[in-house]
Amino acid sequence: MNPAANGSGPMTVLAVGDVVGAEAATWLAGRLPELRERHEVDWVVVNAENCAVTGPSPMDGFGMTVEVIDTLLAGGVDAVTGGNHSWDGPDVDEVLAYPQVVRPINLDETRGRGLLTLRRADRTLTVLNLLSPTAALPGMKAPQPAPLWPAWTNLRATEPLPGAILIDLHGESPWEKASFAAALDGEISALLGTHTHDPTLRGHILPAGTGYLTELGMTGRLGFTGGGFDPAHFAARLRGEDHTALPPYRLATGELSLGAVVVRVDATGATTSITRVH
């Protein structure tokens, strides 16, 4: 890492994985002030693409709403990232117009933004959202994503990326996430995976200083599968049945769970620790 090129003081980032449902967003927003104080957090980055559970189809029923985004921002969230469901939900245009909302950048899309640079005092953080083709579900409303490496090299050549750089990589494959992080070791501060909702326990610090975690996990009610949803629709699809004949998607029951990590970055832009927050 190069301190001069990085142009930022040391910082602490709280990164939160897929928030499932409006109730979970409200619960998280209520906890954020205490979490910020306890961990001395400078920036809060939250993936919220599963906040709006409103219909029977995963292509119509997820995404984000204005109400949920307002709740998260009022709670102290600095950047809201997305994924394959960024173009779902009833308020797509309004949500993508928020300056704090970041949608995947590697798509042919004019609405919204794919990166956000946050600045406060001597701290600068650039947040990027990328969507892996492995998370591009058939029939989804989002445009098909470009391959990750060409998208990154083009972005690096055309966009200023000041300060520490954090990437939310929304993807299915652990090997792809790990390989991409290794390819960017020393170029970015941290790469954190989202999408699968199943949290990875161990965070890694790669040899040149890039922090890496395969999966942040999900924030919401655990249920008995841990994904935040009643699994009836997913089981029906696996059996080859018409899941749209079922009642609308329902959220899981059970305890509320926080899928999050605290990432500490030094003045050179290198990650010095990744700590799981339960």
- As a whole number of angstroms, the distance between CA 161 and CA 5 comes to 10
More confident residue, 20 or 178: 178
Pairing of strands 190-194, 211-213: parallel
pLDDT digits (tens, 9 = 90+) for 80-134: 999 988 888 889 999 999 999 999 999 988 899 999 999 999 999 999 999 999 8
Mean pLDDT confidence for 213-231: 80
pTM over 0.75: yes
The listed CATH number (3.30.70.1140, 3.40.50.300, 3.40.50.150, 3.60.21.10) that belongs to domain 3-277: 3.60.21.10
Residue 263: partners with Cβ closer than 8 Å, 6 or more residues away: 12, 13, 14, 15, 166, 189, 190, 192, 203, 211, 271, 273, 274
Q: Is the pLDDT of residue 237 over 90?
A: no
What are the structure tokens assigned to 269, written together? 């832009």
Closest CA to 50 of 200, 221, 177: 221
Q: Is the pLDDT of residue 54 over 60?
A: no
pLDDT digits (tens, 9 = 90+) for 65-87: 999 999 999 999 999 999 988 88
pLDDT digits (tens, 9 = 90+) for 151-170: 999 999 999 999 999 999 99
Tell me the HSE value of 250 on the side-chain side, using a 13 A CA sphere. Answer: 9
CB 106 within 8 A of CB 63: no
CB 80 within 8 A of CB 98: yes
Closest CA to 126 of 170, 93, 159, 85: 159
- As a whole number of angstroms, the distance between CA 128 and CA 265 comes to 16
Domain boundaries, the chain: 3-277
